[in-house]
Structure 1
Amino acid sequence: MLDVVRLRVLVAVARTGSVTAAARELHYSQPSVSHHLARLEAETGAKLVQRVGRGIRLTDAGRLLAERSAEILGRLDSASAELAAHVGLRSGRVRLAAFPSALGTFVPAAAVRLASAHPGLDLRLIEAEPPEALRMLRDGQVDAAVVFRYGGTGPDEDGVRLTRLLDEPSLLVTPAALLDVPAPMGDGTGTLAGHAGSRWIAGCDRCRAHLLDLCAAAGFEPRVSFTTDDYVAVQAMVAAGLGVAVLPRLALSAHRHPGVRTAGLPGSTRRVFAATYGEPPDPPATAALVAALVAAVEEAETVGAVQGADAVAAAGMV
């Protein structure tokens, strides 16, 4: 039977890239880490690491075992937390991965709700884009994930279950300075097609693919001059006149640069979900977290905190 401690050592070496870094992370001595690796090789009968210069690297067998070990250890940690959470949710831990604009809008409100209802429950928040968040969810590193999908694309992984949180429109973001430039009525600056010749600022792979699809439907291919996943940086660059962009509503709700204006893009929607993994029902702590997320979004939409300036955007300009 494989020793869990030695599996943790192997995973730490794989994650950090060296015995020294793994020892530092685990608070072990370097000889102790080397000893655990040697014992693990003896137990498995496989060569897991090899010397490269003054360092080491994992063999193919080592990488395979490290990947499986990460999943196993994640599940063990989840089981421990779930067992504690079953005691009336008076104690235990629940972990959530979410993308930045969700963390900057409704997730804090959900955290407050959860803490109020279950003060003994320890909530851990991790920033992660959907692909990484889903990987962490499958590996047991988190108990729930806030993810998004555009149109018909999205997670179809076996075992992933989705709870809808909200549908948010995409907005065309342009420099507010354009308002000061005389232009004839219907000049198109509030439409995608009106910026066919503009420079564009793109983000993550999914967001870039969505932008390309939108522009293709408008009859042109955008000239992407800048790439960043930082929505604050995107708005700053737009305000400076370096380009235009398409951003989801949550990004503007989390942070709004005074130097930009926005226009709604009819039919362009990003759907946001709370994702959990495994057969239902969810463990009590995870179910409580998802319920808090749903309630926080519902409250925010009721008071307009998430909607922001959609009423004006629907008219064509903010």
Structure 2
Amino acid sequence: MPLDVVRLRVLVAVARAGTVTAAARELHYSQPSVSHHLARLEAETGAKLVQRAGRGIRLTEAGRLLAERGAEILGRLDAASAELSAHVGLRAGRVRLAAFPSALGTFVPAAAARLADDHPGLDLRLMEAEPPEALRLLRAGRVDAAVVFRYGESGPDDDTDDDTDNDTEDDGVRLVHLLDDPSLLVTSAAHDGAGDLAAYADGPWIAGCERCRAHLLALCAEAGFEPRVSFTTDDYVAVQAMVAAGLGVTVLPRLALSAHRHPGVRVTELPGSTRRVYAATYGEPPDPPATTALVAALRSRRDG
């Protein structure tokens, strides 16, 4: 029997909210209505989806599986609805973009302004997300495009012709190259310092979270040492303030310095260390007109 979309949306809401009460509040349903939809969904699927846990409920393994797939299905349905609206001559509709912080602080606002000028009927929604989360949102249909980056050690094939702006990942994510963003060694301007990593091998370093510091660790390993990380933050404004105060040194991409430059820091470009920034879309081409217009706006403003 085909799955009922309304009941599937209820199950996804319960999984996301954690309780029937919270899901009912999110959906503007009564609690008995949520329970009824869950019971009917179990009857339709022939699977036990929820079970009692104390005074509440929890999803079974089958329930978690269906909720995960359901979130993807509902995301694609919502995206299809937005795409259909966008087809009406780009006079109406919605287009959603996820981008990492330094992109949102530099070239994305200019692209958004260009899109608004060219297509004033479009409703652009912006969301901050680091590349892994942005790609998850993209695959789930919760955004229509994402601005992401790849370092040379983890990116798509960088040996392609420089005039080729399009790459495709194995899972259906399509990439349009926007710009190259070099890495910069950031040190305090109050001290005369060398411009290479090894000169700071014995000093304190400032790094991002465990997930975000992989590139820094790789650069230091190439220079022959493991950095002693004394401070951890993903806030590039705070990072520069710490460096300016002499609390350590760090490596940041140029976009972060373009978004905010502390007057008390000195920067030195690190040769051969560049991340490639892309606009990512998902699924078979062509993209919906609204998404195509968004990517075109990003490409037109890619130099910041």
1:22, 1:287 → 2: CA distance?
A: 35
Deviation string, structure 1 residues 281-306 (Cα, Å, up to 9, x no partner) = 11111000000000011xxx3xxxx4
Partner of 1:57 in structure 2? 58
Matches of 2:217 and 2:34 in 1, distance apart?
48
State the match for 1:99 in structure 2. 100
Residue 316 of structure 1 is matched in structure 2 by: none
Report sequence identity in percent.
Answer: 84
Which residue is equivalent to 1:277?
282
One-letter code aligned to 1:176: A
Determine the C-alpha separation between the residues in 2 that align with 1:278 and 1:6.
Answer: 26
Partner of 1:80: 81
Match of 1:108 in 2: 109
1:194-240 Cα shifts (integer Å, max 9, x gaps): 10011111114564111111111111111112222221221122222
One-letter amino acid matched to 2:215: H
Distance 1:262 1:144 in 2: 32
Aligned residue in 1 for 2:159: none
Structural mapping, 1:9-24, within 5 Å: 9-24=10-25
SS in 1 for 2:301: helix
TM-score by structure 1 length? 0.88
Secondary structure, aligned partner of 1:197: coil
Give runs of aligned pairs for residues 170-185 of structure 1, distance below 5 A: 170-179=183-192
Q: What one-letter code is carried by the residue in structure 1 that aligns with 2:139?
A: R
* Equivalent residue letter for 2:105: G
Query: Which AA in structure 2 matches 1:161?
Result: R
Match of 2:191, SS state, is helix
| Unaligned segments of structure 1, at least 5 residues | 180-187, 307-318
Corresponding residue of 1:133? 134
1:21 is displaced (CA, Å) by: 1.8
Q: CA deviation at 1:58?
A: 1.2
User: Could you say what secondary structure the match of 1:142 adopts?
Assistant: coil
Q: Which residue of 2 aligns with 1:310?
A: none
| Worse overlay, 250-259 or 139-148 | 250-259
Q: Bigger CA drift: 153-162 or 138-147? A: 153-162
Q: Secondary structure at the match of 1:241?
A: coil
Q: Once the two structures are superposed, what CA deviation does each residue of 1:139-158 show, in whole Å capped at 9, x if it has no partner?
A: 11111000000003137441
Is residue 2:81 matched to residue 1:68? no
Q: Which residue of 2 aligns with 1:296?
A: 301
Distance 2:274 2:131 in 1: 16
Letter in 1 for 2:180: D
User: Does the alignment pair 1:250 with 2:250?
Assistant: no
Count matched residues: 291
The AA in structure 2 aligned to 1:23 is: A
Question: Which residue of 181, 198, 202 corresponds with 1:193?
Answer: 198
Residues of 2 paired with 1:89 and 1:254: CA distance? Answer: 31
Partner SS state of residue 177, structure 1: coil
Matched AA of 2:233 = T
Show the counterpart of 1:183: none
Structure 1 residue 253 displacement after superposition: 0.9
Residues in 2 aligned to 1:37 and 1:242: alpha-carbon distance in whole angstroms: 55
CA change 1:46–1:88 in 2 (3 A) is same
Secondary structure, counterpart of 2:155 in structure 1: coil
Match of 1:315 in 2: none
Q: Distance in 1 between matches of 2:52 and 2:244?
A: 52
C-alpha distance after superposition, 1:94-121 (max 9, x if no partner): 1111111111111111111111111111
Aligned to 1:125, the other structure's residue is in SS state: strand
| CA RMSD in angstroms, aligned pairs only | 1.5
